[in-house]
């Protein structure tokens, strides 16, 4: 079996941990049909300038361009279902091994898979907020009509412009979530990093911060990352293939069902 030794080693580290956390990036959701941002040929930034369509400045000056860009992505996220990698992390939390999932993703798939403690560094598409009056609109009242029509959504209370509750370029991360993620990073004894290129900060700095506090790092990602030389285990393979195998081994070692 490919990566047999690495999978076993990762499972042993997780099973022996006292406070393991996961950090997930866009590659965690690509097996669910949600595209990532930087993969050659398929990444979301291949055809557009993110500072034009996905920055707060671009949104404020041309919301139609933003919504034209996000419309196919919104459809993909509406239709996406958790893949085996999401389920594996939820299983690890259920048996008490994983204490939190820190994610860069906005697609809600960790929640849909059953993970209870999810720290969404970049917000989520769960809701949108009116830029005029602050009224919040849940996604099930927003995305289906928008995907069908392509019309820029407006607030049902005051007709102001609705902005999805995701972090755009030029915006600060939600400070309460970032603080909690940093606390988990400093507290953990193992950080499982999956599907992240570790190129977008501040999330990209969390594994090194965990390592500096004495934690072991496990990396599962198709492409090499800057943390490969610092990690206890590195597996360059599909997260949806590897993580279920790691979780199954952990359950065996812990005697969990």
Residues classed as catalytic: 122
Tokens, residue 11: 């499972």
CA distance 226 to 103: 18
CA distance 162 to 73: 17
Q: What counts of helices (H) and strands (E) characterise the chain?
A: 10, 9
- How open is the CA angle 38-14-174, to the nearest 5 degrees? 50
Task: Spell out the alpha helix ranges (H) of 108-238.
Answer: 109-113, 143-149, 175-187, 206-212
Q: Are 88 and 24 in contact (CB under 8 A)?
A: no
CA distance 244 to 41: 28
Tokens, residue 54: 């996905």
Give the position of tokens 């085996």.
84
> For 16, phi and psi rounded to 5 degrees?
-85, -5
Give the number of other CB atoms < 10 A from CB of residue 29: 30
Give the position of tokens 């490919």.
2
3 state DSSP class of 15: helix
């Amino acid at each position: 079996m490919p990566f047999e030794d690495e999978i076993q080693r990762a499972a042993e580290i997780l099973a022996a941990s006292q406070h393991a956390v996961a950090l997930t990036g866009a590659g965690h959701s690509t097996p669910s049909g949600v595209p990532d941002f930087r993969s050659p040929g398929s990444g979301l930034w291949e055809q557009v300038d993110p500072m034009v369509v996905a920055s707060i400045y671009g949104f404020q000056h041309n919301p139609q361009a933003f919504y034209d860009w996000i419309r196919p992505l919104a459809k993909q996220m509406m239709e996406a279902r958790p893949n085996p990698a999401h389920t594996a992390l939820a299983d690890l939390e259920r048996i008490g091994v994983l204490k939190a999932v820190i994610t860069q993703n906005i697609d809600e798939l960790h929640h849909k898979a059953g993970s209870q403690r999810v720290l969404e560094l970049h917000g989520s598409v769960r809701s949108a907020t009116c830029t005029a009056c602050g009224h919040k609109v849940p996604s099930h009242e927003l995305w289906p009509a928008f995907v069908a029509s392509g019309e820029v959504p407006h607030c049902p209370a005051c007709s102001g412009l609705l902005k999805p509750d995701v972090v755009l370029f030029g915006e600060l991360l939600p400070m309460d979530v970032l603080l909690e993620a940093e606390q988990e990073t400093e507290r953990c004894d193992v950080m499982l990093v999956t599907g992240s290129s570790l190129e977008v900060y501040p999330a990209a700095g969390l594994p090194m911060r965990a390592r500096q506090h004495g934690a072991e790092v496990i990396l599962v990602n198709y492409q090499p990352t800057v943390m490969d030389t610092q990690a206890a285990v590195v597996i360059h393979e599909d997260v949806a293939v590897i993580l279920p195998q790691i979780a199954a081994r952990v359950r065996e070692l812990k005697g969990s069902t």
